[in-house]
Structure 1
């Protein structure tokens, strides 16, 4: 069967043609229930009516100059849990692949660029609607190539949002919940990659799934390694991949960073981070608090002395701190002493390391850094999440 998967938004169009077996027909032959969605709108009509009447509209879905009227062009099905699962399986409220594809394009192009709303509002809205997209995808058990098309931009969205939201307060952003959804999507996508590769191996020349994800897979595999920095499981997966993927520039540098981290060579990790592409660098910066804490702890043992001062400028450079104030804040949280430079007496500032003073229970905060911000600013947000540019 020849299927055409299209991704269209405004002036940009990407078409991917893959040869695949009809998985829906296979499930029918195996007597597995097949549910095919019939809803061709981003939000089912019944939900629009219900949410409008009960005033459950999101601010991003309301007509301009109105407080109660829905803008039907912006209405997107929200995620919901149902005690009676049958309601969720009604074809009338399930969106088929084409509609889900269009919904993702709307969320990650239109909604994400609604600058009149604070980013944390856009983030919450998009996260909820993407969960509903995944829910529809799972209930219908969409074919592999369709599920891959859906999950790739979702994974990139979570990658971008993890960094963009990292310094927001808990009232606006829950990193643990974000990471849970991130890992779920990432592992499911990697599993689909593996399934496709296994099918191609078993039935050579019959199907070529790889044309669907050739451009995205190296980046996604690298993100998995870096998101799970130092993890033996993530490294084993990367090292056992087909040479086609393992030898890509993205995965090679991700493996190197993870091995350096695993071997406690944190200074080398920090040096290498600056050379990483945008989304990959952003993911590693989320691990910088742990890197900095461990590095300061090791130095507390290695340079333990009442008379020795480690230069502030050097420490700031090594651990990628944006300012001396940020460095001193973390040094203080770790229970270490420091001295500021005094030009009058020609005294150089520095940290006084002591193995008995270090606070092992401290959790350092995540911060953004200018070099990653500049990498991300070179691209529009929707380009990063939709295509991983």
Structure 2
């Protein structure tokens, strides 16, 4: 490859801005737009890497590309019923992790001893949140070892404290605090990473209510709505997706009969039910 084949920084920056503006286009399905932008942002990263450009502009560009992959993670979730979703989602997540690795390296190279970049805490929190739902190690090492190298200013930030607390609540099965904490504290990018696990936590809560409830006292759907932080109509749909039946009394009040034996975690992907209380973005 010749030097003339590599695009200079101003051209790369302009190209990235153009590509990211396409995400709001409505002429084509999002997965089509995603594929187009996906390939070209990867090419931009390669050009930046080949030129070893390390400055504030490059950091901003990598932050924007991380945002692209996180927003794609959210939007592709609605396409999850399509056969091709799994591979597209996997590739998007792989590129998100690679973007984060490069971004963390850029932060480190450009960091002054007593200061951090404005967005560093939130972008570092993404790595912690990527540990939700599994024991995987997104960047190839244990989370505890990785945290040991995170600068103190970032580690003590509200964004990192939130992410670590949420991961702990998830692993403890504390569904009530997990949902409440997400609704009140998550940024929109953090929420997009958390979102696929919201219904998993709700299913755990529903399982506890079903198996631990008293059979002679059906559980009001209105109470479940508050517990699961869902609309009442969505609660009924959610219960049915988990194999549970609901009933209605003569006054029109709806209930979940507990001790049902047909509860199961749905094999298919849950619909994206909204999280009540998430109005701050």
- 1:131 is aligned to 2:34: no
Offset from partner CA, 1:5-45 (integer Å, 9 cap, x none):
xxxxxxxxxxxxxxxxxxxxxxxxxxxxxxxxxxxxxxxxx
1:180-219 maps to which residues of 2 (within 5 A)? 180-190=91-101, 192-194=103-105, 197=108, 208=111, 214-219=117-122
Query: Is 1:263 the counterpart of 2:172 in the alignment?
Result: yes
Counterpart for residue 365 of structure 1: 270
- Pick closer, same or farther for the CA change 1:226–1:288 going to 2, 3 Å: same
The structure number with the bigger radius of gyration is 1
Equivalent of 1:301 in 190, 195, 211: 211
Unaligned runs of 5+ in 2: none
Shift of 1:373: 7.7
TM-score by length of 1: 0.60
Whether the 8 Å contact between 1:282 and 1:372 is mirrored in structure 2 is no
Distance 1:278 1:188, change over 3 A: closer
2:126 match: secondary structure? helix
Structure 1 residues 370 and 142, CA, compared in 2 at 3 Å: closer, same or farther?
same
Deviation, 1:356, is 3.0
CA distance in 2, matches of 1:210, 1:291: 40
Name the CA shift for 1:152/1:212 in 2 (closer, same or farther; >3 Å).
farther
Query: Where does 1:51-200 land on structure 2 (aligned, <5 Å)?
Result: 89-109=1-21, 111-138=22-49, 140=50, 142-145=52-55, 148-168=59-79, 170-171=81-82, 174=85, 176-190=87-101, 192-194=103-105, 197=108
Tell me if structure 1 keeps the 8 A contact 2:244–2:262.
yes
Between the two proteins, the alignment pairs up a number of residues equal to: 273
2:157 corresponds to 1:252: no
- The 1:369–1:184 alpha-carbon spacing in structure 2 relative to 1, beyond 3 Å, is same
Residue 169 of structure 1: CA displacement?
A: 5.2
Correspondence for 1:350 among 221, 239, 255: 255
Displacement, 1:263? Answer: 0.7
Superposed CA RMSD in Å reads: 3.3
Moved more, 309-318 or 118-127: 118-127
Taking the TM superposition and a 5 Å limit, the aligned residue runs for 1:2-17 are: none
Going from structure 1 to structure 2, the CA distance change for 1:373 and 1:129 (only over 3 Å counts) comes to: farther
Alignment partners' CA distance in 1, 2:180 and 2:114:
34
Q: Write the distance in 1 (CA, Å) between the matches of 2:9 and 2:39.
A: 18
Cα offset for 1:252? 0.9
Structure 1, unpaired ranges of 5+? 1-88, 200-206, 377-389
Residue in 2 that maps onto 1:220: 123
Q: Which of 246, 257, 261 is the aligned partner of 1:338?
A: 246
Going from structure 1 to structure 2, the CA distance change for 1:215 and 1:173 (only over 3 Å counts) comes to: farther
Contact 2:218/2:256 (8 A) holds in 1: yes
Q: Which residue of 2 aligns with 1:327?
A: 235
2:193 paired with 1:290: no
The superposition leaves residues 213-239 of structure 1 with CA deviations (integer Å, 9 ceiling, x where unpaired) of: 611211111122223226665752346
C-alpha contact 1:288 1:366 (8 A) present in aligned 2: no
Aligned equivalent of 1:21: none
Structure 1 counterpart SS, 2:79: coil
| Conserved 8 A contact 1:226-1:283 | yes
